[in-house]
């Protein structure tokens, strides 16, 4: 394993992952919908938030520890649910969950993971969170929730912004699938990235194991693809939050909120937390960045529930900016995926180390010693244009 300490930024881990991971799976992480304008805005808008520097203050004894949905976290960061994680590196979800457990931050497993709920539970000792897509096959969803309960998952993350799939050109051009199709192009990729290929040959986990074996209509690759594409529910409504909560019996965090009215609706229907998110720019291209809309959503419901943010976090500075603008915590997706692709479990740990160090130093230079004391007073200015129209009353 290469010396991962030489990587000092998430961008450097990204470059290493690009070198090691086959193009279709690297592109899956490094892409957005349609023109990718929202994908780019997620990171670019963090640069428009300026911090207030303070000096001649006591910077000793700093504390980054907090709680997220009632659970201890070493810093206000959790690993976001990401599909195809196990194709960035063999058994990727297990590796990421182990890294998160050792580091002391929450890990969230995607419905569309390569390693199953049971795979992760058997290879970790700390309860993790499970992300749920509501699908048309309610019998499958009932069984999926019951499996999450049996695995002692401590929270569900209900994703609401994938009623239909966004227009993702890179995935379409690359012919994304799990397991991958052995086209001449992909065989060439394996030849030039032999470490990835050898590790994949050493695992039996190559497909969506939360689904395969649990749905009769998804027995092979062609059937799995057809079943999955037909299952996202365009008729999804807020009442599903209550149904999921009753079935699960634990906290339900609603992900995919990008509008203050939707935030109020989620809370009114029982959400135990919300995640301000545009699905990493992979759904509605042209939507605003998550950090841009965070303040108005915090204003709308921050006094009623925990508000988190994902989409665009690439540094500890980004984490601090989100917390200063009202987020209780943040979720990282691509940042840990690039660590995973660069160096497996150790690479995920390195990504977390990079973010922690940047967060700690930035907090100190802003004159704060405790993450709970970070707030709007640490923001010098926000260079976002004013909103063009108020939220509608639905």
Strand partners, 132: 158
The three-state secondary structure class of 124 is: coil
Tokens (6 digits) for 289: 């960045």
Is 387 inside any structural domain? no
Is the separation of the CB atoms in 323 and 51 below 8 Å? no
pTM of the model: 0.95
Is the separation of the CB atoms in 335 and 301 below 8 Å? no
Q: How far apart are CA 183 and CA 22, in angstroms?
A: 13
Is 392 inside any structural domain? no
Strand partners, 275: 255, 308
Is the separation of the CB atoms in 77 and 319 below 8 Å? yes
Angle, helix 10-20 to helix 334-365, in steps of 10 degrees: 170
Tokens (6 digits) for 203: 């695992």
pLDDT of residue 54: 97
Q: How far apart are CA 268 and CA 264, in angstroms?
A: 6
Is 92 inside any structural domain? yes
Is 169 inside any structural domain? yes
Q: What is the DSSP letter of 112?
A: T
Angle, helix 92-103 to helix 334-365, in steps of 10 degrees: 20
Q: What is the largest CA-CA distance in the chain?
A: 66
Q: How far apart are CA 75 and CA 156, in angstroms?
A: 20
Q: How many domains does the chain have?
A: 1
Is the separation of the CB atoms in 365 and 57 below 8 Å? no
By residue range, what is the domain housing residue 140? Answer: 4-382
Give the pairing of strands 329-332 and 379-382.
Answer: unpaired
Is 47 inside any structural domain? yes
- pLDDT tens figures, 342-371: 999 999 999 999 999 999 999 999 999 999
Buried b (16+ CB within 10 A) or exposed e, 27-51: bbbbbbbbebbbbebbbebbebbeb
Quick one: which of 106, 124, 127 has its CA closest to 115? 124
Quick one: which of 40, 49, 41, 80 has its CA closest to 351? 80
Is 208 inside any structural domain? yes
Catalytic residues: 279
CATH number for the domain harbouring residue 242 = 3.20.20.70
One pLDDT digit (tens) per residue for the chain, 394 residues: 469 999 999 999 999 999 999 999 999 999 999 999 999 999 999 999 999 999 999 999 999 999 999 999 999 999 999 999 999 999 999 999 999 999 999 999 999 999 999 999 999 999 999 999 999 999 999 999 999 999 999 999 999 999 898 889 888 888 877 788 888 888 888 899 999 999 999 999 999 999 988 987 776 656 777 787 788 888 999 999 999 999 999 999 999 999 999 999 999 999 999 999 999 999 999 999 999 999 999 999 999 999 999 999 999 999 999 999 999 999 999 999 999 999 999 999 999 999 999 999 999 999 999 999 999 999 999 998 777 655 555 5
Is 393 inside any structural domain? no
Is 154 inside any structural domain? yes
């Amino acid at each position: 394993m290469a010396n991962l300490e030489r990587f000092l930024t998430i961008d450097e881990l990204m470059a290493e992952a690009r070198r090691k991971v086959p193009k279709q799976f690297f592109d899956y992480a490094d892409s957005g919908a349609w023109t990718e304008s929202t994908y780019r805005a997620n990171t670019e808008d963090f640069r428009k938030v300026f911090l207030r520097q303070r000096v001649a203050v006591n910077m000793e004894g700093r504390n980054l520890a907090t709680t997220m949905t009632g659970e201890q976290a070493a810093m206000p960061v959790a690993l976001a649910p990401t599909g195809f994680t196990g194709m960035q590196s063999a058994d990727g979800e297990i590796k990421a969950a182990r890294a998160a457990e050792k580091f002391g931050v929450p890990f969230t497993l995607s419905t569309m993971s390569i390693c199953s709920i049971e795979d992760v539970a058997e290879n970790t000792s700390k309860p993790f969170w499970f992300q749920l897509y509501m699908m048309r096959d309610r019998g499958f969803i009932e069984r999926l929730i019951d499996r999450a309960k049996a695995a002692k998952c401590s929270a569900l993350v209900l994703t609401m912004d994938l009623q239909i799939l966004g227009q993702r050109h890179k995935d379409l051009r690359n012919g994304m699938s799990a397991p991958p199709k052995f086209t001449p192009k992909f065989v060439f990729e394996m030849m030039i990235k032999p470490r990835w290929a050898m590790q994949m040959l050493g695992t039996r986990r190559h497909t969506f194991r939360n689904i395969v074996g649990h749905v009769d209509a998804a027995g092979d690759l062609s059937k799995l693809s057809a079943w999955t594409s037909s299952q996202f529910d365009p008729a999804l409504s807020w009442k599903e939050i209550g149904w999921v909560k009753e079935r699960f019996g634990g906290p339900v965090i609603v992900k995919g909120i990008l509008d203050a009215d939707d935030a109020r609706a989620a809370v009114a229907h029982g959400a135990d937390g919300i995640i301000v998110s545009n699905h990493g720019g992979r759904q509605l291209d042209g939507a605003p960045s998550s950090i841009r809309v965070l303040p108005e959503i915090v204003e709308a419901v921050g006094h009623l529930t925990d508000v988190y943010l994902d989409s665009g976090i690439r540094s500890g500075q980004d984490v601090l900016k989100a917390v200063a603008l009202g987020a209780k915590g943040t979720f990282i997706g691509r940042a840990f995926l690039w660590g995973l692709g660069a160096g497996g479990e150790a690479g995920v740990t390195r990504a977390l180390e990079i973010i922690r160090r940047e967060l700690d130093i930035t907090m100190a230079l802003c004159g704060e010693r405790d993450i709970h004391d970070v707030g709007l007073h640490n923001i010098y200015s926000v260079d976002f244009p004013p909103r063009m129209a108020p939220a509608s009353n639905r």
